[in-house]
Amino acid sequence: MVTLIREHRPFEADGKVLVVGMPGMGRVGQTAVEEVMNASGAELVAHVYSTYFPSQVLVGRNGRVRLMKGDLYESDKAVFFIADTQPHSAEGQNEVAFEVLKYLVKKGIRAVVAGAAFVMPEVSTRRRVFVAGNEDGIIDEFKRLGAEPIEEGVISGINGSIIGWAEYFGIPGATILGESWSMFVDLNAIDYRGAYVVAKTLAAYLGIEADFEPMLKRAEEVEENIRSMAKMIGEYVTEKIEREGKEHRPEVI
């Protein structure tokens, strides 16, 4: 299998942070990183192709197709890595993470930060931010920004594995996780409120000033839709149970 990186234009990354936002649960990390990336005025600098990405093409306007891929964007403070999807296998996720890091370490990145979700069965509107990292120094930086260290567990996908590979390359790395509601994962919906707290934390770490308040309006719309769907599902299940109960009730003679 092979992973290839093709530059769109020459660039250097001396002293910059690699910020990673792969599609994942509730699309928290992906949405947060894209918001910060857009706020920073980042420009496309490279494409990441891999035979580990799904064997599909995306169809656009007028029937034009393209491979599923990742993209690297550069701003004056960071390099951003986003993608259409993640490789489905652990082997593929590790290879893409390794090759992207190997490529950018040579260009001088100083740290790696990824966004992700910390999924809970229930959450409040005031979402927390959690952090896990490969060294104490970068964990402390995010603790000062209000993040709570995770004590145990597993962070799956490239949003987690790339931090482990960063340690292999000798650079600090951390994953920032926004508290998210499991209902978003179950319904394949975007958790804008979880992404909001991650975006604010990432922007503060990078020194980027931006207004992320519009994300909260989108959060209210999505959450209202989820509540409505949950109510309808609950009513349907209740009616189904009552109906089946009547159908199987024994006759009394």
Domain ranges of the chain: 3-212
Report which DSSP code applies to 5. E
**Better pLDDT: 145 or 233:** 145
- Residue 89: is its pLDDT beyond 70? yes
Q: Report the half-sphere exposure of 5 (CA within 13 A, side-chain side).
A: 21
pLDDT of residue 239: 65
pLDDT of residue 90: 96
Whole-angstrom Cα distance, residue 225 to residue 128? 22
pLDDT of residue 249: 56
pLDDT of residue 252: 47
Reported confidence tier of residue 230, pLDDT bands at 50, 70, 90: low
pTM for this predicted structure: 0.88
Dihedral pair phi/psi, residue 13, rounded to 5°: -130, 25
pLDDT of residue 97: 98
- Residue 250: is its pLDDT beyond 70? no
104: closest CA among 166, 164, 51? 166
Whole-angstrom Cα distance, residue 79 to residue 75? 6
pLDDT of residue 235: 58
Reported confidence tier of residue 169, pLDDT bands at 50, 70, 90: very high
181: closest CA among 228, 227, 237, 115? 227
191: closest CA among 153, 157, 221? 221
- Residue 94: is its pLDDT beyond 70? yes
Least confident of 63-72, 133-142, 156-165, 221-230: 221-230
pLDDT of residue 185: 86
Report which DSSP code applies to 26. G
Least confident of 17-21, 101-105, 152-156: 152-156
pLDDT of residue 122: 80
* Superfamily of the domain at 3-212: PAC-like subunit (3.40.50.10900)
Q: What is the pLDDT of residues 191-206, one digit of tens each?
A: 999 999 999 999 999 9
What is the mean predicted confidence (pLDDT) over 98-120?
96
What is the mean predicted confidence (pLDDT) over 215-233?
82
Reported confidence tier of residue 165, pLDDT bands at 50, 70, 90: very high
